[in-house]
Amino acid sequence: MSVPGAWYLTLAAMLFTIGAIGVLVRRNVLVMFMCIELMLNAVNLTFVTFARMLDDIGGQVVVFFVLVVAAAEVVVGLGIIVAIFRRRTQATADDISLLKG
Amino acid sequence: MLDAAWLIPALPLAGFVLLLLVGRKLGDPGAGWLGTLMVAASFAVTLGVFSTLLSRHDDARTVTHTLFTWVPVGTFQVKAGLLIDPLAVAMALFVTGVSSLIHLYSIGYMRGDERYPTFFVYLNLFVFSMLVLVLADSFLLTFLGWEGVGACSYFLISFWFERPTAATAAKKAFVTNRVGDFGFMVAMFVLFGSVGSLQYLTVFAHVGALGHATATAVVLLLLLGAAGKSAQLPLYVWLPDAMEGPTPVSALIHAATMVTAGVYLMVRVNPILAHAGGATTVIAVVGAITAIFAATIACAQDDIKRVLAYSTISQLGYMFLAVGSGAYVAAVFHMITHAFFKALLFLGAGSVIHGLHDTQDMQKMGALRRFLPVTSATFIVGWLAIAGVPPFAGFWSKDDILINAWDKSPVLWLLGLIGALLTAYYMSRQIFLVFFGRDRWKSEGEGEHAVTPHESPWTMTVPLVVLAALSVVGGGLNLPLSDKTEFLHRWLHPVFGSRVHELAATSGTKWALFFVTLAAVAAGIAIAGRLFLGRQARPDALEPAVLRNGWYVDDLYSAVIETPGRMLSAWAAYVLDLKVVDGAVNGVGSLVRASGSRLRAVQSGYVRNYALAVVVGAVVLLGYGISRVAQ
């Protein structure tokens, strides 16, 4: 008795939504970053689910690409965040609004 | 000798180049002598060509020489060549001859001028251009010379460009001539469109294919060009102002040679005139009206050179009258005699101005014949010639024109007759004011400003004497006594053939006209003598302001052309450019700025706003995709 694919998809959608809302409502850059990771992994979950449902290995391959890109993104992102923490005492996203029009 | 004909224009061109290169080193008077020598050599070559043609039979007197291919474009070849025929040679003879004398005169007249060599650079370039105009074998090459003389005229009128009046006069001459050149150019386009060639002989051979309407249009357009260059109504206004130039220039360009270019052109295209019936009447009417119109103005001028300028316009009018009457020989005859006596009069006027230290106002002259013996003697000869006193040159040519005008229409003859009376009157007025009566120049300067008139150096008086001699005997070119003595008529016969008008008037009519003309001339001189010999006050009734101001034509032109032109340009500058053009440019700018300042609010700098925009966008796209799939 296996769990139906729709449950996984529902879980992934919920995780994605939590991540998206987190990015939108939270001010802390680190938390926002984690929310992005949450969204990425929600997408990964859908890929894996569809790969299994459609019996297509392509979905799982894409997940590896996403993981690699996410790892690289974490490196760059954390580098930026560390640079910001060096100059400021705390990292609130709204403080960093120098590109205001 | 005919093979050397290219030397005729080439020698003045060489003089121009040499003077341009070494003129400054030669200085004063070396540069003048070089320029004179080149033109004199050109005259000698022309004489050689003339004698060669003279030894030939009538039919072999028209020769074309192709010199080089001017514009080679595939199968379209424009060749530059010389057309040597009796008309061109007759013209070239008096152009080079009179030019040589005026160059000689300029050596003395321009002495001491700062830009002495430059003057001769321009003069030689002018003679070259004029000879190209005369000897060209096509309309196009003639047009090159035509523009060349126009440019030289511009340079020379503004030779003393420090004077604002000279600079303005030069501009006026140039602009007015452009109006005429427009007519010349359009005439060439029409001719090329219908004949496919601009070579004179080709065009004349196919003149029958032109059709009456086209021929008329071409003639009227060429008349516009000729009216510009030859200072006829309505484009004459530049010539009186052109007197701001040095006097030799007035004599050479604005009396003897360049202004006759228009007459030459009309005579040159006589085969087309023969196909354009009504247009010749227009030419005759323009000429007759100009002749009398300019003569009335000349009667009231005080500037010694302006009188002569209006007189030139009037005499050119006679030439147009002759062309319009079909009397081409008479036109050329008057052109040549006019070159003699008008050059003489201008050079004499220059000598007077020179002797009085640049005084040009005739009211400040008088009794000069005791101080300037050579000048006054030659000037009097010129006066008798232009007034039409037999047996001086002007009488014969003018009489010839008047008889032909009678054949065309008695009205034209009457206009010409009144013109002759006025000519005799204003020239006598000038003579009496300048050389006779009381000396009014003495009262002008006292003490150190006192002027003592002095005779000019020999380089200036020799041309006067030669031209005076020519003015006396010039009539001998074409004496209407018998067929044998009409040399010019027989010489030009190969050019005009049967197109020249044969006089229908009987011998009795001719004698009657002769005596009427003579009476008119005598009356003109008598009236002037009665008014100006020993008079005290100016006859104001005869010289109203309307005549002194030239019928206010200049004011009319400035009111009709200049004022609307100024208003139009002011409107273009201050309304069209400032409001419309600049408004469009600035409008685009401020539109971008305004929309930018509104839109910059979107760029809040807050990451969450951007993220929200991404989410909303994603949701919209997703919704759109789903709605498409659902259908």
pLDDT single digits (tens) B378-389: 999 999 999 988
CB distance A93–B602 less than 8 Å?
no
pLDDT over 80 (residue B229): yes
pLDDT of residue B444: 53
CB distance A24–B605 less than 8 Å?
no
Cβ atoms of residues B417 and B395 within 8 Å:
no
pLDDT of residue B443: 57
**Chain A residue nearest residue B615, CA to CA:** A20
pLDDT of residue A91: 67
* Residue from the list B600, B611, B615 with its beta carbon closest to the beta carbon of A101: B600
* CA atoms within a 13 Å half-sphere pointing along the CA-CB vector of B236: 29
- Which range, of B101-105, B129-133, B365-369, averages the lowest pLDDT? B365-369
pLDDT over 70 (residue A1): no
Query: What is the rounded average pLDDT for all residues in chain A?
Result: 88
What is the C-alpha radius of gyration for chain A, rounded to an integer number of angstroms? Answer: 17
- Which range, of B213-217, B301-305, B529-533, B591-595, averages the lowest pLDDT? B529-533
* Residue from the list B603, B608, B612 with its beta carbon closest to the beta carbon of A99: B603
pLDDT tens-digit map of B169-226? 999 999 999 989 999 999 999 999 888 888 898 888 888 888 888 899 999 999 999 9
Asked if the C-beta of A84 comes within 8 angstroms of chain B's C-beta atoms, the answer is no
Please give the structure tokens belonging to residue B132: 């190209």
Mean pLDDT, residues B116-121 taken together = 90
Asked if the C-beta of B614 comes within 8 angstroms of chain A's C-beta atoms, the answer is no
Return the percentage of chain B with pLDDT > 90, whole number.
44
pLDDT over 80 (residue B366): no
Any idea what the Cα angle at residue B298 is, between residues B296 and B299, rounded to 5°? 70
Asked if the C-beta of B631 comes within 8 angstroms of chain A's C-beta atoms, the answer is no
CB distance A96–B601 less than 8 Å?
no
Residues in chain B within 8 Å Cβ distance of A81: none
* Residue from the list B603, B612, B615 with its beta carbon closest to the beta carbon of A100: B603
Residues in chain B within 8 Å Cβ distance of A93: 606-608
Return the percentage of chain B with pLDDT > 70, whole number.
97
Mean pLDDT, residues B449-454 taken together = 66
pLDDT tens-digit map of A61-98? 999 999 999 999 999 999 988 888 888 777 677 777 77
Rounded alpha-carbon distances, angstroms, from residue B540 to A66, B177, B219: 110, 34, 42
CB distance B606–A94 less than 8 Å?
yes
- Is residue A22 one of the residues assigned to a domain? yes
Cβ atoms of residues B351 and B334 within 8 Å:
no
Strand partners, B79: B69
Strands (E), A1-101: none
Q: How far is B267 from B405, CA to CA, in rounded Å? A: 16
Mean pLDDT, residues B522-548 taken together = 79
Name the percent of chain A in helix, strand, coil, to the closest 5.
Answer: 80, 0, 20
Nearest one of B588, B322, B336 to B470, comparing CA atoms: B336
Residues in chain B within 8 Å Cβ distance of A32: 607
- Is residue A45 one of the residues assigned to a domain? yes
> Which position has the higher pLDDT, B548 or B413?
B413
* CA atoms within a 13 Å half-sphere pointing along the CA-CB vector of B539: 15
* Residue from the list B608, B612, B615 with its beta carbon closest to the beta carbon of A93: B608
* Residue from the list A23, A24, A99 with its beta carbon closest to the beta carbon of B605: A99
pLDDT of residue B450: 55
- Which range, of B83-97, B530-544, B617-631, averages the lowest pLDDT? B530-544
Q: How far is B343 from B470, CA to CA, in rounded Å? A: 11
Q: How far is B551 from B539, CA to CA, in rounded Å? A: 18
- Chain-centroid distance, C-alpha A28: 15
* Residue from the list B600, B605, B611 with its beta carbon closest to the beta carbon of A23: B611
Query: What is the rounded average pLDDT for all residues in chain B?
Result: 88
Q: How far is B316 from B2, CA to CA, in rounded Å? A: 31
The identity of residue B169, as a single letter, is A
pLDDT band at A12 (very low <50, low <70, confident <90, very high): very high
Nearest CA-CA distance, residue A93 and chain B, Å: 7
* CA atoms within a 13 Å half-sphere pointing along the CA-CB vector of B185: 8
Cβ atoms of residues A33 and A91 within 8 Å:
no
pLDDT tens-digit map of B35-79? 999 999 999 999 999 999 888 887 788 888 888 888 888 888 888
pLDDT over 90 (residue B408): no
Q: How far is A21 from B53, CA to CA, in rounded Å? A: 110
User: Three-class SS of residue B506?
Assistant: coil
Strand partners, B68: B80
- Is residue A92 one of the residues assigned to a domain? no
pLDDT of residue B534: 66
Mean pLDDT, residues B450-472 taken together = 84
Domain extent for A72: 5-87
Residues 44-83 of A with CB under 8 A from B: none
Number of domains in chain A: 1
pLDDT band at B535 (very low <50, low <70, confident <90, very high): low
> Which position has the higher pLDDT, B336 or B367?
B336
CATH of the domain at A28: 1.10.287.3510
- Is residue A27 one of the residues assigned to a domain? yes
CB distance B607–A98 less than 8 Å?
no
- Is residue A98 one of the residues assigned to a domain? no
- Is residue A30 one of the residues assigned to a domain? yes
> Which position has the higher pLDDT, B59 or B348?
B348
